[in-house]
Every structure is written in structure tokens, then in C-alpha cells.
Amino acid sequence: MSCSLVYMTASSQGEAEALGRMLVERRLAACVNLIGDVNSMYWWKGRVERAQEVVLVAKTRTELVAELTSAVKAAHSYECPCVVSVPIGSGNPDFLAWIMDEARGRP
């Protein structure tokens, strides 16, 4: 079983909900958690910017990360959205099996 967590940010709760729903409905993720009211500071076009964002954490099959990333980029309001993945090294075998079953699993 090869599963990954995918960390993303969105500009608003509404955008995060739309992205999360799209990923789950397309079975690109078994689950997406939304974490609201995150204060972000970052470099953008030569300046330090600050924004309130919503974090999304998706649980998916590692083999789906590229497709998930493409889907988020196509639907996202940002010019360069944050989408990064981290492989899950270990965890509850039953939960990891659930991710494998639900992310692009059942029709």
C-alpha cells in the first residue's frame, strides 16, 4: 500500500470546500480535511505578502498525486497554488486500506 498526504491552501472556506468536494467526488482523495483561518506569510513577486487561507489535507494513493495536482491547478484561483505531497510511511493498516479502497477504488 502506498498512500500520501497532500497539503494544499485555498483563498477562502468556499474555495477550499469546492476543491475538497471535487477531489472526493472524483475519487482522487478518500478524504479531505479543511483547517480554517490560517495566517500565511510568503514571498510573491519580490514582496513579502500576508493572507488568511484555508488548509486542505487530502489522503490519497501515491499514484494519484500527479492527477490530483493537475485537477487542483485547473480549478484553483491562485496562479501558483500550493500542492505538496508527503508519503505516509506507516499507520493504522485498516485506515491505509480504506484510503486505497476509496481513492479511485469503487465505481
Q: Which helix (H) or strand (E) holds 15?
A: helix 13-25
Query: Which whole number is the average pLDDT over 4-15?
Result: 98
Single out the residue of 36, 40, 32 nearest to residue 12, CA to CA: 36
For 3-102, CATH gives: 3.30.70.120
Tens of pLDDT along 61-97? 999 999 999 999 999 999 999 999 999 999 999 999 9
> What's the predicted TM-score (pTM) here?
0.95
Residues 6+ apart with CB under 8 A from 106: 27
Q: Where are the domains of the chain?
A: 3-102
Query: Which whole number is the average pLDDT over 11-20?
Result: 98
Question: What average pLDDT is seen over the chain?
Answer: 96
The pLDDT of residue 106 is above 80: no
